[in-house]
Amino acid sequence: MNNETEVVRDIRAFSRFYTDIIGLLDQHLLDSSYSLAEVRILYELYNGGDMQASNLMELMRIDKSYLSRVLKKLERDGLIGRLRSDKDGRAVVLSLTVKGKAEFEVLNEASDNQIARLLAPLADSQKQAMAAEMRSVMQALKPRRLTLNDISIRNELRPGDLGYVAYLHGELYTRECGYGLNFEGYVLESMGEFAHQYNPVKDRIWVCGHNHKIIGFLAAVNRGDQAQLRYFIFQPEYRGIGLGKKLMDEFMAYLKEQGFNRAYLWTTNEQHTATALYKKYGFRLAEEKMTRSFDKELVEQRYVMEK
């Protein structure tokens, strides 16, 4: 059994344990007449105020038809009502009634008492430690949109960087484009050449990291009278946050710093997103040639930029 399998099993075991100990699988929660989903809706409306059903769907990740049935039951019980929105007369918002607020407050107190009884045998230090660990779990698993502020970029080339970047190329382009081992061999060969000839004064690299792991890379190679843009790559989950533009801005700043008026790069006809970005920075298609070097028929393209 590998480490990941053990982690998955441990997490599932804890989930079953905690679900059982606080009665989440009971038909009714906290000895009330309401299910977990019904109480959660009361909670969201009590703490978040009036909102549309679509807001509840997003907060609870709940199916529309199931939510509709639950809302109808809460309406029949007199716990929620529907009102026209003050901001948009076409929109209908859900609101807790006086009875709904009172019912939630009773349930909320019962939930607090349940947890207090559960923690009663523990010392204060154990309670604090458990709360801290639970906050860590929530923080680690909480969905959050990545931003450029989450990405670190360094210009120092370290042992192991190029080998990992070669791996990224082989794995990503095989998965997304169907390139074969010959492509990885091409990358490894050129990486070896780059490693032997790399000059930190004349060349420049950008190593992108997140959570202590390399997720992207770009190299600017000094070719005497011009620069070559190479190894431009980052993982799919980091697309759409402006990282590509950030790296291209850095590359253009490098050209200005080094006094280059010309630059070039090689790519293929399949890299539509990348070539669109290159064109925005003044690169134009200068050469095309057919190839099967990467174990499939492709058109290699050379783009150049001249100021």
CA–CA gap between residue 185 and residue 29 (Å, rounded) = 60
pLDDT along the chain (307 residues), means of 10: 77 82 70 85 90 86 88 93 74 90 91 88 89 82 82 96 95 90 93 95 96 94 97 92 96 97 96 94 96 92 95
Give residue 63's identity as a one-letter amino acid code: D
* Percentages (nearest 5) of helix, strand, coil residues in the chain: 50, 20, 25
Q: What's the topology of domain 3-141?
A: Arc Repressor Mutant, subunit A (1.10.10)
pLDDT score for 21: 76
Q: What's the topology of domain 148-306?
A: Aminopeptidase (3.40.630)
Pairing verdict, β 204-210 and 152-154: antiparallel
pLDDT score for 53: 87
- What are the residues facing 228 on neighbouring strands? 221, 264
pLDDT score for 245: 96
pTM above 0.95, yes or no: no
Token pair of 210, please? 């997140």
CA–CA gap between residue 299 and residue 290 (Å, rounded) = 5
Contact 220, 204 (CB under 8 A): yes
Q: List alpha helices for the chain, DSSP H.
A: 3-21, 36-48, 53-60, 64-76, 98-119, 124-141, 161-177, 181-197, 243-258, 272-280
Contact 45, 100 (CB under 8 A): yes
Measured at the CA of 167, the angle between CA 166 and CA 170, to 5 degrees, comes to 90
Domain ranges of the chain: 3-141, 148-306
